[in-house]
């Protein structure tokens, strides 16, 4: 919950806008400001104070304790100009909250944490537990001192400005139960899956005690547990559910049929008779593959009663991560926040050189950039997948939406299920052009590429003819180049067999970019020679009209009744 506090009418106005936008996330604190801040600080995960920063500093200073437990505090001036991340930038999420508040109130987010200021990812912002000298190692990264990466687990990480050989400071990536040494940080990625089985009514302490004992004896850390896993029949078993809650990890369940298909070293007749699978703990831990570190073991009771819980521990196979990112049509404000986040997360960026130039300033220092020229799509896809298979966090970029005439198709054709693939949508050229032209895509529409480099012209022509006969609005990608100057006239002639010469046609070049140009003409008047590869051509259907200089396709045809 986010506590909202204000002292003046101006602050209350901005406060109420935030409360209206986030009704389920926020709580307004009324009354004397000091009392309101104290109550919110004790009850909420985050605070937004619509007060002067000096006032907020004095109010929260006596309340501050542990930066890992204190709420994040954002301060917004009463003019609504700035949203300042005051305390808890990383641990309390104040940096991200300042950005969110700034977007909602049209205020400038102010983030002053050192790692964010210079583009180095905070070691406490990587999404998994961190132990040791976080401040010292972070300062070494910022100062450019030698920091070694000791990666016992090949987990995908953002660029950290580290050496793989030696350094005065060390970042260790491990799931072993080791204490960080001097000038060392231990990162604990979610590498362990604990499979559990339990008899009906098994106490939570018995389940938890078994898990802790198994990990301790194997020299593994509780901080690396990704999930507890069990059979569907035990999805609501209180001892298992509460164990997951206390460990703060998700409980994942599988059907008996899924578990029975997993080969395990220690099958048993007891679970087969009880829930329909010869293994619960081992099979549940092994469903996703990996190395069995702790075979099935039973809990030990001191009261002489039979054991009521079993567990097994598996180390997941470290998987690389490939994000296929759509950059949109070119304008920075049409690049989505999710795309920006993936670019910042990537240790390796793969892309066409001209697209890399568009977003180079968004990359973290140390990002490995692998760029190439036009016509190397398959090579870029292979490169991106190969880097992900090394355990890297990779971003493969394309213009518009990466899944539309772009890099997603060749990348996914190259990738197998040994890496994680994430698709990040982007604003397509067709959508950007449509917004510029008016509303030409208001009814059914189709996009067709006129490039026959990858698709035989016979196939393209058949698709154009089908769209013409079906009276569908058509957006042509790759309409005309120096070496392909006849395809667009041919496609237009096919459409002209089914549409009037006065049918509106929208032509947009470099949509959303500084040299953008657009015009609305007609099927008869369009000169194909004025079109190139940077242009998108949208041909209306029989209902499309030009209205006040804009191209409009209605959602239905009834509007034409009574019109000429």
Confidence of residue 241 (pLDDT cuts 50, 70, 90): very high
For the segment 469-477, the average pLDDT, to the nearest whole number, is 96
pLDDT of residue 94: 85
Interatomic CA distance for residues 363 and 418, integer angstroms: 26
For the segment 306-333, the average pLDDT, to the nearest whole number, is 91
For the segment 452-467, the average pLDDT, to the nearest whole number, is 93
Mean pLDDT (the chain, rounded): 89
Confidence of residue 525 (pLDDT cuts 50, 70, 90): very high
For the segment 262-274, the average pLDDT, to the nearest whole number, is 88
pTM score, two decimals?
0.70
For the segment 551-555, the average pLDDT, to the nearest whole number, is 92
Higher pLDDT, 496 or 54: 496
pLDDT of residue 242: 95
Residues recorded for the chain: 564
pLDDT of residue 559: 53
pLDDT of residue 301: 79
Confidence of residue 228 (pLDDT cuts 50, 70, 90): very high
Confidence of residue 118 (pLDDT cuts 50, 70, 90): low
For the segment 476-492, the average pLDDT, to the nearest whole number, is 93
Under 8 Å between Cβ of 46 and 2:
yes
Our CA angle for 269, 275, 276, nearest 5°, is 65
pLDDT in tens, 326-369: 999 989 889 998 999 899 889 899 999 999 999 998 888 778 99
pLDDT in tens, 7-25: 888 788 888 888 898 888 8
pLDDT of residue 163: 65
Interatomic CA distance for residues 440 and 538, integer angstroms: 8
pLDDT of residue 274: 83
pLDDT of residue 64: 85
Whether the pLDDT of residue 141 is over 90: the answer is no
Whether the pLDDT of residue 560 is over 60: the answer is no
Q: Which residues of 49-67 are buried (b: 16+ CB within 10 A; e: fewer)?
A: bbbeeeebeebbeeeeeee
pLDDT in tens, 199-209: 999 999 999 99
Confidence of residue 116 (pLDDT cuts 50, 70, 90): low
Interatomic CA distance for residues 62 and 536, integer angstroms: 61
Contacts of 321 (CB under 8 A, 6+ apart): 156, 388, 392, 393, 394, 419, 420, 421, 422
pLDDT of residue 67: 72
Among 236, 237, 307, residue whose Cα is nearest residue 268: 307
For the segment 409-436, the average pLDDT, to the nearest whole number, is 92
Tokens of 134: 């976080």
pLDDT of residue 418: 84
DSSP of 176-245, one letter per residue? B-----TTEEEE--S-EEEEEEE-TT--HHHHHHHHHHHHHHHTB-GGGEEEEEEEGGGTT-HHHHHHHH
Confidence of residue 406 (pLDDT cuts 50, 70, 90): confident
Tokens of 202: 């098994």
Q: Which of 161-170, 278-287, 291-300, 527-536 is least confident?
A: 161-170
For the segment 439-454, the average pLDDT, to the nearest whole number, is 92
Confidence of residue 134 (pLDDT cuts 50, 70, 90): confident
pLDDT of residue 564: 43
pLDDT of residue 269: 87
Tokens of 455: 């698709």
Whether the pLDDT of residue 50 is over 70: the answer is yes
Confidence of residue 469 (pLDDT cuts 50, 70, 90): very high
């Amino acid at each position: 919950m986010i506590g909202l506090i204000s002292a003046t009418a101006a602050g209350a106005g901005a406060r109420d806008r935030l409360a209206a936008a986030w009704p389920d996330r926020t709580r307004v604190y009324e009354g004397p400001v000091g009392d309101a801040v104290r109550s919110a600080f004790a009850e909420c995960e985050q605070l937004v104070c619509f007060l002067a920063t000096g006032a907020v500093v004095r109010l929260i200073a006596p309340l501050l304790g542990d930066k890992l437990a204190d709420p994040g505090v954002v301060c917004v001036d009463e003019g609504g100009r700035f949203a300042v991340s005051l305390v808890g930038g990383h641990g309390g999420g104040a940096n991200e909250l300042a950005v969110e508040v700034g977007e909602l109130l049209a205020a400038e987010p102010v983030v002053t944490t050192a790692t964010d200021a210079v583009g180095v990812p905070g070691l406490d912002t990587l999404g998994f537990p961190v132990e040791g000298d976080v401040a010292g190692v972070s300062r070494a990264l910022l100062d450019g001192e030698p920091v070694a990466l000791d990666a016992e687990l090949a987990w995908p990480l953002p660029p950290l400005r580290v050496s793989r050989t030696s350094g005065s400071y060390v970042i260790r990536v491990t799931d072993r139960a080791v204490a960080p040494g001097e000038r060392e940080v231990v990162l604990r990625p979610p590498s362990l899956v604990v499979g559990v089985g339990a008899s009906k009514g098994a106490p939570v302490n018995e389940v938890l005690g078994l898990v802790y004992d198994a990990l301790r004896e194997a020299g593994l850390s509780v901080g690396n547990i990704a999930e507890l896993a069990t059979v569907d029949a035990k999805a609501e078993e209180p001892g298992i559910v509460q164990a997951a809650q206390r460990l703060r990890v998700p409980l994942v369940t599988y059907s008996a049929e899924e578990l029975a298909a997993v080969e395990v070293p220690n099958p048993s007749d007891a679970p087969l008779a009880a829930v329909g699978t010869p293994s619960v703990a081992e099979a549940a831990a092994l469903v996703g593959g990996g190395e069995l570190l702790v075979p099935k073991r039973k809990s030990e009771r001191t009261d002489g009663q039979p054991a009521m819980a079993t567990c097994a521990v598996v180390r997941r196979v470290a998987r690389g991560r490939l994000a296929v990112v759509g950059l949109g049509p070119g304008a920075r404000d049409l690049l989505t926040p999710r795309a920006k986040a993936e670019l910042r997360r990537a240790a390796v960026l793969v892309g066409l050189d001209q697209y890399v130039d568009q977003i180079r300033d968004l990359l973290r220092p140390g990002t490995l950039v692998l760029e190439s020229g036009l016509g190397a799509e398959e090579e870029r896809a292979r490169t991106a997948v190969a880097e992900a298979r090394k355990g890297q966090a990779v971003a493969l970029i394309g213009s518009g939406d990466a899944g539309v005439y772009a890099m997603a198709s060749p990348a996914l054709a190259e990738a197998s299920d040994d890496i994680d693939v994430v698709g990040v949508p982007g604003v397509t050229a067709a959508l950007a052009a449509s917004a510029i032209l008016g509303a030409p895509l208001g009814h059914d529409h189709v996009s067709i590429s006129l490039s026959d480099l990858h698709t035989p012209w016979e196939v393209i022509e058949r698709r154009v003819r089908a769209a013409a006969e079906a009276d569908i609005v058509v957006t042509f990608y790759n309409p005309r180049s120096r070496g392909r100057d006849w395809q667009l006239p041919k496609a237009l002639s096919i459409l002209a067999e089914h549409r009037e010469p006065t049918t509106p046609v929208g032509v947009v070049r470099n949509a959303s970019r500084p040299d953008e140009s657009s015009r609305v003409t007609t099927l008869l008047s369009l000169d194909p020679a004025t079109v190139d590869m940077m242009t998108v051509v949208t041909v209306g259907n029989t209902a499309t009209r030009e209205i006040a200089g804009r191209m409009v396709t209605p959602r239905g045809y009834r509007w034409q009744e009574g019109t000429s």
